[in-house]
Structure 1
């Protein structure tokens, strides 16, 4: 399909092209890989996994979390092929829902996606800030990092990512390819270094692959392992990235599913060997869990290499790769806000839906994301525990936003609501959609459970508080400012699997026409 055909297809769905189609499949796979950053995400959460279910729990939870996320992502890939629009989950929910609920459902799911991206981006920036401060602590043990030190570094990382997205907007495909290569080289070099340096002093294989000591305080070892699995899901977040940038590649209906599925397969293939190397290198588990820097990964590197210099270099490279995740988060989140604002879903949507003519990016939406994330970081000046709840909330919001359209497909019937598409799950579709929905419901419950017992003020799980508070905020926005005004995407009717655009000058929807994807004679 050529560029003009892609533009015509986009116009048939209610939008005109505003973003340049500058990404190739490889550059967008590289961006998606940088964003999911599975091996880095695994490294950032290893300490929690070890605490919950020891080495074996940390290692074996990865393929389980990866496999379940792959199933969820397969359903996402099919929907991205059926409806290749940057609004993604928001747009799919509207097109799949019945006329009575489509506006409300799409509004809520659009906000779930935005909030999920904000929280995921904040968690990545916070971890990079912690990494950089831990390197300083390694060399200067007397240094005491204050919360405001970390916040300043955190904010610097947020706005550095904005600068790169803005002034380097035209070289983003090149940057993501470069980051992909650097990440692969760093991963390979780090894994080999850990194995080689630890060859004479390493953890026994029985501990690495067989120890599942329960450190949660819960009486059930099975529950401890389930908590470790939920912790590993964080490393696979962001597989829907390609769906939000589908208007910036050619033939998105065909290529977007490739991007979504390849990113998770590459992530799964890189995270597990890296986790094994880290477990292999540990010689003092308690020192890893109680490291003064608060970053177990740097203690693992130091126990393996016995060198501050080598550990610092490896961690600096790790931080750079994770910074690629932050840049990709900014790219994706800005596109999500821009796409949803085109239909007036956000307050002051006219501002966020603008594409900057010089940089050819939704600069206002990018600035909004960075501002919200910077302000959110102020929370850990008062409570690091409350701030860490964003990891669980990010998983809940992003995964739920991906599962909701699949739940609607199951409820209304796949044959009735899905148009012809380049990528179809075929006979496996109902099973994949059902497993995806059940998996996300299961995760949503698990993430509300306390991760340690007995529960104290210090170890309380604030995910439920953060999630409930943000959900009430979104519901309040809808009922007090958008109810009766927000009509969703500018779609009139479906005809033979093709969404027809609203004629020029019209901004309303005929809600008497239900969404029916069956071909009409």
Structure 2
């Protein structure tokens, strides 16, 4: 049984280990395992992602397809995240994917930090987009003659982005408490919504055959099997963001032990809570055509209305949902700023000296947060032109975030896990190769799958442009690298020998009751980092 460590001593050891990894401690360790776990759950919040995208799943594979796609997407994302949690335990640095790749790759192939940053920016935009659409949904319910315009949605989108930015900067000291509040509110809202739908809709609910067995696709694809695969790729959206704990690891004590928990536990809880919520949504549907014909493309309020029979009740439920989703947007902003800040510390981006600054009063990377809000606001301008292009950006979120998580895992497989990966608190052991290989294969498959059109026949309006978006953004990152940082970038100044000493000291402060005098038990906790070529 692990004993509780002295917090000040633990933080001191963590700071020294971070120094050996090439950085000085700049961010206060204000998060506890509970508050960081709450942030991770609030950001991942599978039930929110599932509710936001339920209409797409229903159109692609009907009720049963949308339902059974959820556990498949959850288990596969959990496998990807398990490999990521191991790396976070080995190298608890806020740069996460960028830093892991730097440490385990050969000198010729170091990571481009901008890939993970773009993924998080896209995630921020997609959450704000869903949030703004829900606000307009509530308006259209109470004012049927109102016809929402793209520019109106854009203004709400920008307002939400900058409100989340203000909370991240001005309320930085209270962020852990805010995340705990949003976590408790999300759990309460989820429970209340699920029970309400099951109870109120019991006299006019969908039959079990529709909920668990109907797979008739309305996507136009001839193969129901392929439509089901598309539904799985759509369900992945609800599990994105599990790496947020890794980007905040320098703000929690004993990160090599606590961060893997913050990565994995919210995914498990998210899957266990999203399943009954999804069943309650499908259970409430009495007219599936009305659900799929919602003009906003986000039919959640129609499902709430069919379940409750009251627009007032549906509005209240959706308002609570939207507020929880705004809490998710705040968490995405937190993670975006930390990711940009962490990469900028190594001068990996243009004008890095600006983005790496930590505000002296708020003790957070305010410049990185402002840049994030500005770029995401500009990205939302495509509302004024093409919603199809924005849909492609949402799919690109999946591609960039998931791919950034498996790149270091692919390097582990190529170079040999035992050659480049140190021992760590969270060790996949003999299952490591299987987990890493499965994660890489799944992500490659997923990257290809999200490039297919979601409906047939293909037209200019419904064409999936995600491949164009991905190639365009990736090319921009590569061009930016070669034009500004090639031959200049050095990376963190890692002291391998000192890191070994610090890691040994950190692990040896964790005393045990029964096996503290057992040399084999102590040796199993000792982590020695080998130099990487």
Q: How does 1:100-499 map to 2 (within 5 A)?
A: 100-102=108-110, 106-107=111-112, 110-491=113-494, 493=496, 497=500
Q: Which residue is equivalent to 2:77?
A: 69
The reply to whether residue 36 of structure 1 matches residue 44 of structure 2 is yes
Change (3 A) 1:380 1:519: closer
Q: Which residue of 2 aligns with 1:506?
A: none
**Which residue does 1:509 correspond to in 2?**
none
Give the distance between the partners of 2:296 and 2:381, measured in 1 at CA: 20
2:35 equivalent to 1:27? yes
Count of residue correspondences: 500
Secondary structure of the residue aligned to 1:199 is: helix
Q: Distance in 1 between matches of 2:501 and 2:117?
A: 27
The CA distance in 2 between the partners of 1:240 and 1:292, in whole Å, is 34
Q: 1:85 aligns with which of 85, 93, 118?
A: 93
Aligned-partner Cα distance in 1 for 2:256–2:106 = 24
Alpha-carbon contact 2:21-2:495 (below 8 Å) kept: no
Whether the 8 Å CA contact 1:13–1:498 is kept in 2: the answer is no
Distance across 2 between alignment mates of 1:286 and 1:323:
29
Unaligned runs of 5+ in 2: 504-527
Q: Displacement of 1:429 after TM fit?
A: 0.5
Question: 1:48 is matched with which residue?
Answer: 56
Whether the 8 Å contact between 2:20 and 2:498 is mirrored in structure 1 is no
User: Quick one: distance in 1 between partners of 2:142 and 2:220?
Assistant: 34
The answer as to whether partners of 2:260 and 2:426 remain within 8 angstroms in 1 is: yes
| Structure 2 counterpart SS, 1:357 | coil
Q: Distance in 2 between matches of 1:177 and 1:186?
A: 14
Greater shift in the superposed pair: 263-272 or 54-63? 263-272
Root-mean-square deviation (CA, aligned residues, Å) is: 1.5
How far has the Cα of 1:294 moved from its partner? 3.1
| Structure 2 CA distance for aligned equivalents of residues 159 and 241 of structure 1 | 20
Answer whether contact 2:50 2:274 (CA < 8 A) is retained: yes
**Does structure 1 conserve the Cα–Cα contact (< 8 Å) formed by 2:46 and 2:270?**
yes
| Structure 2 SS opposite 1:421 | coil
Moved more, 214-223 or 295-304: 214-223
Alignment partners' CA distance in 2, 1:499 and 1:232: 41
Deviation by residue 1:272-309 (Cα, 9 ceiling, x = unmatched): 11100000000000000002343210000001111111
8 Å CA contact 2:496–2:530 kept in 1: the answer is: no
Conservation of the 8 A alpha-carbon contact between 2:53 and 2:298: no
Contact 1:352 1:362 in 2 (8 A): yes
Q: CA deviation at 1:487?
A: 1.9
TM-score by length of structure 1 reads: 0.94
Q: What SS does structure 2 have at the residue aligned with 1:98?
A: coil
Is the CA contact (8 Å cut-off) linking 1:419 and 1:496 kept in structure 2?
no
How far apart, CA to CA, are the structure 2 residues paired with 1:408 and 1:292? Answer: 45
Q: Contact conserved, 1:416 with 1:517, CA < 8 A, in 2?
A: no
Q: TM-score, normalised by structure 2?
A: 0.92
C-alpha distance after superposition, 1:413-437 (max 9, x if no partner): 1111011211100111110000000
Cα pair 1:495 1:517 within 8 Å, conserved: no
Greater shift after overlay, 203-212 or 216-225? 216-225
Unpaired runs of 5+ residues, structure 1, are 501-515
Q: Within 1, Cα distance between the matches of 2:117 and 2:392?
A: 17
**Helix, strand or coil at the partner of 2:202:** coil
What is the SS of the residue equivalent to 1:491? coil
Contact conserved, 2:55 with 2:297, CA < 8 A, in 1? no
CA distance in 1, matches of 2:499, 2:246: 22
SS of residue in 1 equivalent to 2:427: coil
The separation in 1 between residues aligned to 2:313 and 2:391, in whole angstroms, is: 29
User: Counterparts of 1:322 and 1:306 in 2: how far apart (Å)?
Assistant: 24
1:170 positional shift: 0.4
Alpha carbons of structure 1 residues 519 and 354: separation in structure 2 relative to 1, 3 Å: closer
Partner of residue 25 from structure 2, selected from 1, 17, 28 = 17
Per the alignment, residue 107 of structure 2 pairs with: 99
**In structure 2, what is the Cα distance between the partners aligned to 1:495 and 1:348?**
30
Report the Cα distance in structure 2 between the residues aligned to 1:100 and 1:494, rounded to whole angstroms.
22
CA distance in 2, matches of 1:498, 1:220: 58
2:348 aligned counterpart, secondary structure: coil
Structure 2 CA distance for aligned equivalents of residues 263 and 245 of structure 1? 15
Counterpart contact for 2:347–2:489, Cα < 8 Å: yes
- Give the Cα–Cα distance (whole angstroms) in 2 for the partners of residues 259 and 464 of structure 1: 32
